[in-house]
Amino acid sequence: MHREANELAALYPEVQWISHILPDEHLLPVHPRQPQPLFDKAHSHVSMDETTAFLLTRTPHRSKVTIDDAAALYHLPDFRPALVDFYCGQLYEDRRGRRSNSNYILPFTHINIWHNVRLQQRSAQDQRTFMPVQTIQALPPCQEMPFGRFHTPLVNFSSQAQNESSGVVEVRLIFQPILPADASTPAPYLFYGHYLKFESTDQDGSPLLAPNIDMFVLVQLVPKFGQEAPVGLDYNNSMAFTDRFYLNNFSHKETFHAILSYQ
């Protein structure tokens, strides 16, 4: 009983506080039945350290889209060169702003596209606890949303030789290359995004490609303006009106620890 009480206090500190204020009250946290964690779903993809899992729908939102059509749909003129860099093993910081050889022939011509990916983490406080599932969206521009809708997760660059161990990325496209049937390895699930530069670093803000599993937590960005905000600013266009943001690392306890751990 003593061990269980300690575990309860660690996960629900408000219960411990109320027990001191109202010792005669028997208060237990009441939560709805928790859904099955993404970690336990058959089609989920789990990181090597088993701290992050992501899940895509089995049917893509857009199937068999050519590379050039995807670039036009999402307004990504740099998409094909970024794919070449990724498959050549080249990073933006290594190229110093130059793209790789444009004559490189990619092993595919079409991709499948998803509008969102579901992501779940284990708690940084207690690895036995699963955090709520988060949905990361990457919607193309349209009449209702001329700038599209692109979420900004914190990304762990462990799979890439970046100078920084992590960074904030605006995810612009979630996709999987359609490789030939005789390909020796399965096609990876990737995202194309824009790396957001921290003022305290020398890393240039730039487009990049990375595996979906590198995303691990959504973060809140607050647009940074001068004396007044632009006219017409709203939720759907705030990322387009400025290129400077405050990172709200106090939005959630887990977000605070994630940012602190990967700085």
Residue 96 within any structural domain of the chain: yes
Query: What percentage of the chain reaches a pLDDT higher than 70?
Result: 70
Whether pLDDT at 36 is above 70: yes
Compute the mean pLDDT over every residue in the chain, rounded to the nearest whole number: 78
More confident residue, 18 or 168: 168
Whether pLDDT at 131 is above 50: yes
Whether pLDDT at 108 is above 70: yes
Residue 255 within any structural domain of the chain: yes
Query: What percentage of the chain reaches a pLDDT higher than 90?
Result: 26
Residue 248 within any structural domain of the chain: yes
In this predicted structure, what is the pLDDT of residue 157?
66
Residue 227 within any structural domain of the chain: yes
In this predicted structure, what is the pLDDT of residue 205?
52
- Looking at residues 259-263, what average pLDDT do you find? 58
Q: What is the pLDDT of residues 193-242, one digit of tens each?
A: 988 776 554 444 566 777 877 877 788 888 887 778 778 787 778 777 77
In this predicted structure, what is the pLDDT of residue 1?
42
Residue 38 within any structural domain of the chain: no
The residue range of the domain holding 100 is 44-262
Whether pLDDT at 185 is above 80: yes
Q: What is the pLDDT of residues 41-90, one digit of tens each?
A: 888 888 888 888 999 999 999 999 999 999 999 999 989 988 988 888 76
SS (H, E, C) the chain: CHHHHHHHHHHCHHHHHHHHHCCCCCCCCCCCCCCCCHHHCCCCEECCCCCEEEECCCCCCEEEEEHHHHHHHCCCCCHHHHHHHHHHCCCHHHHCCCCCCCCCCCCCCEEEEECEEEEEEECCCCCCCECCCEEEEEECCCCCCCCCEECCEEEEHHHCCCCCCEEEEEEEEEEEECCCCCCCCCCCCEEEEEECCCCCCCCCCCEEEEEHHHEEEECEEEECCCCCCCCCCCCCCHHHHCCCEEEECCCCHHHHHHHHHHC
**Predicted TM-score of the model (pTM):** 0.77
pLDDT band at 7 (very low <50, low <70, confident <90, very high): very low
Residue 115 within any structural domain of the chain: yes
In this predicted structure, what is the pLDDT of residue 52?
87
In this predicted structure, what is the pLDDT of residue 234?
78
Residue 120 within any structural domain of the chain: yes
| Domains identified in the chain, total number | 1
Whether pLDDT at 8 is above 50: no
Whether pLDDT at 188 is above 70: yes
Whether pLDDT at 141 is above 80: yes
Residue 26 within any structural domain of the chain: no
In this predicted structure, what is the pLDDT of residue 126?
77
